[in-house]
Amino acid sequence: MLNNIDKALRIGDLNLSESLDNLKNLAREKARLVKLAQESARARILSGCADDALIYGIENIPSDETEQLKKFGCDSWWFKQFKTLKKRKLEQMARDLELVHKHKSSYVSNYTNNRRQQEKSLSRQFLESTYINNELGDEFSLAEVYDKNVSNPAIRRAELMVRAKGFEELAEYNHHQALFITLTTPSRFHQIKANGTANPKFNGATPREAHHFLNDEWKLIRSAIHKKQINPYGFRVVEPHHDSTPHWHLLLFIHPDDTKSLIQTFQHYALQDADTNQSNLKHRIKCVTIDSEKGSATGYIAKYISKNIDGHGLDKDLDGKDANESAQKIEAWASNWGIRQFQQIGGAPVTIWRELRKLRDPVDNPIIEQARKAADSSDWAAYNLSMGGVNLPRSARPIQPYYEEQEINLVFNTDTGEVIDEPNIVKKLKGLSAGDHVTITRKHNWTISGSVNSVNSGTEINEFAEQLGGSSKHGASVMHRASIPDFDEIASQFDAYTDQQERWFQYYESLHYDGL
């Protein structure tokens, strides 16, 4: 068995059983070959890198030469890919060893769950020991900012509930029907049966591959109903079965006359699968028409939102296990497999909603001001109405995000700390626009003021903090706490660190949830 495990972890010249330091060395070597390549040999080197990435199983390999130079010549990009491959391969091996199911460890292996909790603990240390300040002298720890943003699970859960309730209010206003649809993959994607025995039909697919299967099926359904001019709005929640195979829950609001056609479209595309037939269709698709007299649509989805975020308000999960621990493991599952748990379907964009909520004073523009009042009062229904309703295309919305181009000259060499003058133009979200009117929502420039080396020196977090340098100000008094900025706003200021940005966002992505 150990022989088989060792073979499974070797892909060409990539050995995923190696330490992170060795994987980092391989990443540097890959990037070095690209950087040193003469122009005449560059196409051959890039082609070889693309072939290697494909063999390794790296997703979203760039095809454009400019993008290839940027990615393949960056050791941080390679290292991030190697770490992702390593953690997913190890988790899939745990599944192959039948260690992931409700009779062992539901949703995710104990190894992956423990690793994820350690990551989050280290990230918290980093946030608490790293400070940012602006041109006014305001200073905050990143932990303070994190706790006041949708990165905070409690705030994320509250925002999702506000938005779900807003959609329900719009449905009531328009006399629309609420449907709760559950989509499950065919039997071949399920590894372990409910009784803990292996499924002989299992095809070896990973949870990510199973999720892609459902996503491909949804794309076909969405395209078909769009042609029928059926425009549902609502939310999708992705969660794992006990053996980590994903399934989808969709809360959709539609015109009552479209209900039958929508359900038939879901069934039609489910039956296109070779293993799905009329006798087992009920296991693939379950549709519940929500009766508002018996319960609200928001109440229907509330437990799924809570179960997949922090377990708030729930004592036990479906298997009788502690809801908080289950939520923790579900989050580790989603992080490990790169699965987006929540997604809005239809409706006005949440990015503009969040930007509007940063504005405390009235705006001298009636379009933005109307939307600002709705967002400031947490009225998702009124916000959608002010943005043209739930079905208006994004490009036709009366309010658009406003971006400014900025030239970044400060580039660090991640190995030596040397500053290299390589101008780079980036677009940064700065506010909102309505016609010719622009309202700035991100008024300050935030920079890192230092970091206390409170985490192990071998971690990526500490390495990033050390490379940024600067003295710690963790003992300084914090001023103007009422003006604590949004975490997105602070992260957007890190463009000045260009090369370090890859490493920062690699870690930032593991702790920041940008909503839907």
Q: So which residues are the catalytic ones?
A: 300, 304
From the number of C-beta atoms within 10 Å of its C-beta (0-12, 13-18, 19+), residue 259 rates as: middle
Q: Which two tokens stand for residue 301?
A: 């989805």
Closest CA to 24 of 415, 497, 492: 415
Are the C-beta atoms of residues 331 and 156 closer than 8 Å to each other? no
d(CA 219, CA 209): 15
Q: Which two tokens stand for residue 3?
A: 């022989």
Q: Strand, coil or helix: what is 427?
A: strand
**CA distances from residue 310 to 38, 149, 244, 300 in whole angstroms, order as listed:** 52, 16, 18, 17
> Which amino acid, residue 232?
P
Can you tell me which residue has the tokens 């018996």? 294
Query: Which residue(s) pair with 184 in the sheet?
Result: 247
**Residue 405 phi/psi, 5° resolution?**
-80, 140
d(CA 495, CA 407): 10
d(CA 190, CA 183): 14
Are the C-beta atoms of residues 146 and 152 closer than 8 Å to each other? yes
Q: Strand, coil or helix: what is 14?
A: strand
d(CA 225, CA 227): 5
Three-state SS sequence of 353-417? HHHHCCCCCCCCCHHHHHHHHHHHCCCHHHHHHHCCCCCCCHHHCCCEEEEEEEEEEEEECCCCC
Are the C-beta atoms of residues 461 and 123 closer than 8 Å to each other? yes
